[in-house]
Structure 1
Amino acid sequence: MFNNERQVQIEWGDCDPADIVFYPRYFAYFDASTGALFEAMGVSLRYIRDVLKTVGFPMVDTRSQFFKPSKYGDKVTIKSEFTEVGRASFGIRHQLFNDGDLAVECTEKRVWACLNAEGDLKAKTIPDDIRAKMLSHG
């Protein structure tokens, strides 16, 4: 399935007083990595919202395991890939590597969503062309 890789430098504001990444910051990195995954496929959030008139892909489940801390100044690599693509939902795995070692692994389940006439958030079928890109080996 489609995958992407990006580099992140750990900033001072990402860290706690012990000089390691404060764990909620990892979820911000992974959320940005999900956006980067779609951008790498040529599907921007602006396109999803403005052209497709879709809200986006809210999170319905996320889980992480932490194996090795990352510290201020570290340059890490985040590898992201689709793990499953359903009718209206999809899974993503993010792996954060620090100095070649797996430091954090996160899985996400997201739902392709829109607002109905009443303004409620509802699942929507992933468009066929986007689903095809998600399933490709990009």
Structure 2
Amino acid sequence: MNAIFKLSRQVEFNHCDAAGIVFYPRYFEMIAAVQERFFADALGASWAEMTPAGLGTPMGEITVRFSNPSRLGDMLDFALVVPRIGTASAGLDITCHSGGELRFSCNATVVYAAFDTGRSLPWPADLRTKLTEFLPEDRKKTA
């Protein structure tokens, strides 16, 4: 069974527009926060440690499908899985639900990169191994 990284957070006033609905750019901030927590909490590779070393996982591509609005006070439940791992990149599929209702789904690609050159680097073996835990079972054999 593949692992799923889960994170919950409540919609705060600073996330909302004047109608009390999450302003869609704030979802991108939440996606970045889920990604940051995933690397720190699930993979043991915090951005606080990577950044001073000149390394990071910038977003290479992102697609988001918004399904239903979220409102001030809603509790949002995020789930992240890794559908694929490349030499220097990885896919992240993130879904967000509240009360069982889908709020958005996100398909993203992050790249392991060096800040000084702006170039991608192969995943370190230990980080690649940890990422593999979040692959679907049928893809773990080829990772």
TM over 0.5: yes
User: What is the Cα deviation at residue 41 of structure 1?
Assistant: 2.1
| 1:8 paired to 2:9 | yes
> Which of 110, 121, 124 is 1:124 aligned to?
121
1:4/1:36 contact within 8 Å kept: no
Q: Which runs of 5+ in 1 are unaligned?
A: none
Q: Please give the secondary structure, in 1, of the residue aligned with 2:119.
A: strand
Cα distance in 2 for partners of 1:33, 1:69 equals: 19
> Which of 37, 42, 45 is 2:44 aligned to?
42
2:82/2:134 contact within 8 Å kept: no
User: What is the Cα deviation at residue 54 of structure 1?
Assistant: 3.9
Matched with 1:133 is: 130
Q: Which runs of 5+ in 2 are unaligned?
A: 136-143
Q: Percent identity between the aligned chains?
A: 29
1:11/1:73 contact within 8 Å kept: yes
Cα distance in 1 for partners of 2:46, 2:83 equals: 20
> Which structure is higher in helix share?
2
Any runs of at least 4 consecutive aligned residues in structure 1 with deviations exceeding 4 A, and if so which? none
Normalising by structure 1, we get a TM-score of: 0.89
Matched with 1:27 is: 28
Q: Match for 2:66: what amino acid?
A: F
How many pairs were matched up?
133
Normalising by structure 2, we get a TM-score of: 0.86
Q: Over aligned residues, Cα RMSD in angstroms?
A: 1.6
Cα distance in 1 for partners of 2:16, 2:49 equals: 33
Cα distance in 2 for partners of 1:19, 1:61 equals: 29
